[in-house]
Amino acid sequence: MSTWWERAADLLRDVRWALEQLEHRAARAQQEDLSELEVRRLLSAVARALGQIRGDELEKLTRALIELQPLVPESRLGRVAEQLADLYFHSASSEEFLERAADLLLAETHSERILLVLYPGGLRIGGEIGVDPTRVLLACARNVCSEDLTAEEHAFSRTLLWRALASGETLLIRDALSDPAYAQETSVARRGVRSVLVAPLAVGGVSFGAIYLENNTVAAMYSEADRDFLARIAQIIAVYLEAADRLRVALSARDAPSHEPSGEVLQGLVGVNPEWRRVVQTIVHVAPSSVTVLLEGESGTGKEMLARALHALSPRAQGPFVVVNCAAVPETLAESELFGHERGAFTGALERRLGRVELAHRGTIFLDEIGELPLPVQAKLLRFLQFQEFERLGGSRPIRVDVRVVAATSRVLRQMVAEGKFLEALYHRVNVIPVRIPPLRERPEDIPLLALHFLKRYAPAAGRPALRFHPEALIALQEYSFPGNVRELENLVQRLVLLAPSDEIRVQDLPESLLGRWRALDAEKNPFRIYLRTPPVDRADLERRRRAILKIARTYIAELEDALIRRALEEAGGNIAEAARRSGLHRSIFYRRRKRQTSDPAVNPDHPASEV
């Protein structure tokens, strides 16, 4: 562009020189006494000079200016865009950016008024007939008395704003007072609306705001060039606002406390079985409330673990978690154990004692095997659940506490109600959120995952971090019904951690009682079959199955890798470099294995490795 400016400057200098020459000759002529003939000759020379200037130099200047004209808007756009970029990166918020952008555009377009409006949620361009006025927000205004878009001064602006939002086009009204489409508008006549320019803020075919400019002093204040300019400026501002909004959402998501359950809390709730996942989802869903939950399941299925998860995920997590094994409390002491007693309440009551319910104030009490409570204690528990108050044994003053009750049973309470062994009213009180926990035999796909989970928990504590399961051992575990459920599996893994003769738990290391039900792996059988029998129920189920398959696959891959390493070392006579060359594996893999072998010689004591 500088080349064109230089050419125009040269032409102007030539014109200036020619005019100076004419002026000089005219001044000399005034000082001399010229004849009529000489005057004619002088005027003829001036006319020729002016004609030459007009026909030559000025024509060149006109052509240069015509060529410059398209570049002028680009220069304006670039200058304002640069200023907007500076405003964006030096503004503390989107609101401040819009305020400063409004000042810039008001001065740049010589407008009397400017409004920047936002339409939260956006509007698909061409996709809707109308715009909801209640959703329009005035983000910024200059030379406007009110921020209320229903006020009289905004009556006309609403019409154009709606059109711009819905069409996605920049609207130019040269003179609303003389335009038949708008002249009959009451607000146009009342406020004397003349020149108007409206550009939508849109990204990806969705309008979410608009820039409204107005000048009521001059008609045709804005040109087509102004329309194009504002349309492109609106695009720039829209991109800035969209980027700022995405950044705000990302930062809010980062800084906001997570509503997802803590991985640490749910660490023990291992499994991909659909029924088990529904149990976990129920626990997570009801944890934030104080509603009573009844956990029903066989012994060893993890009822206390789920109760602890309920407590840990609730607002009461910082309060006490009190466990009462109702089956282990003597019938004569059950009332005192739960509700406490006053001094002298019975023989041997030498001092006041707080009961478990009182100790659980602002926390959770877990009543395990609630069906074993004596009927009189059930009646007192029912009143407590109804009114959240009780009296200590031997006391007369009601005590109010804030306690959440989680009950558990391995018996069928409904049947006990029919047999008169459990109060029906109490059953309905504790059965607000019933949760049935499936036994381990109904979730065989979770057995390998649970075994690996318990191995990871207990092996490092026993000084055996490299201990692992042979894949066939995991399959053998999967074939067993585990009548003692998860507790039996956990105890078995603890025993294997202590007694396994090598760093790999093999089939022969498992108890005989378990091996009696196991059949060797054949070509038609694989450890992934349980995950492939049925299609996933949803995306979450698919992701859980994927993780489970990968976890088992890694165990297989490690076993295959060790087998390849052993064979390569045998063929290379223990020489790592030669074994690496033969197997195609990197030397580092052999060194890592040798490091494990050094920490536990039981890995492979018969084949020491050498480097060369």
* Residue segments in the chain with a per-residue pLDDT below the cut of 70: 1-23, 25-36, 38-40, 42-43, 46-74, 121, 126-135, 144-158, 183-188, 245-267, 516-534, 595-612
pLDDT at 558: 74
**Helix residue spans in 500-575 (DSSP H):** 512-515, 529-532, 539-571
**Helix residue spans in 169-273 (DSSP H):** 186-191, 224-255
| Ranges assigned E (strand) in 259-402 | 293-296, 321-325, 340-341, 353-354, 363-368, 389-390, 399-400
pLDDT at 521: 40
Enclosing H/E stretch for 494: helix 485-499
**Would you put residue 596 in left (φ > 0), alpha (ψ -120 to 50) or beta?**
alpha
Give the burial class of 81: count Cβ atoms within 10 A of its Cβ; 0-12 exposed, 13-18 middle, 19 or more buried: middle
Amino acid identity for residue 457 in this structure: R
Whether the Cβ atoms of residue 180 and residue 195 lie closer than 8 Å to each other: no
List of residues 6+ apart from 313 with CB closer than 8 A: 261, 262, 265, 283, 284, 287, 288
Query: Can you name the residues that pair with 363 across neighbouring β-strands?
Result: 403
Amino acid identity for residue 27 in this structure: A
Nearest 5 degrees, angle CA 602-CA 603-CA 609? 110
**Distance, CA of 59 to CA of 68 (rounded, Å):** 14
List of residues 6+ apart from 182 with CB closer than 8 A: 156, 173, 176, 188, 193
Domain edges within the chain: 2-69, 74-252, 274-438, 443-519, 534-612
Looking at domain 443-519, its CATH architecture is Orthogonal Bundle (1.10)
**Distance, CA of 609 to CA of 591 (rounded, Å):** 9
CATH number of 274-438: 3.40.50.300
Whether the Cβ atoms of residue 116 and residue 106 lie closer than 8 Å to each other: no
pTM for the full predicted model: 0.47
pLDDT at 436: 95
**Tokens describing residue 238:** 């829209």
**Distance, CA of 534 to CA of 518 (rounded, Å):** 24
Whether the Cβ atoms of residue 210 and residue 197 lie closer than 8 Å to each other: no
For the stretch 143-189, pLDDT in tens is 755 555 555 555 555 677 778 878 888 988 888 777 777 766 666 67
Q: What DSSP string runs through 259-271?
A: -SPPTTTTTT---
Whether the Cβ atoms of residue 464 and residue 600 lie closer than 8 Å to each other: yes
Residues across the chain? 612
Looking at domain 74-252, its CATH architecture is 2-Layer Sandwich (3.30)
List of residues 6+ apart from 318 with CB closer than 8 A: none
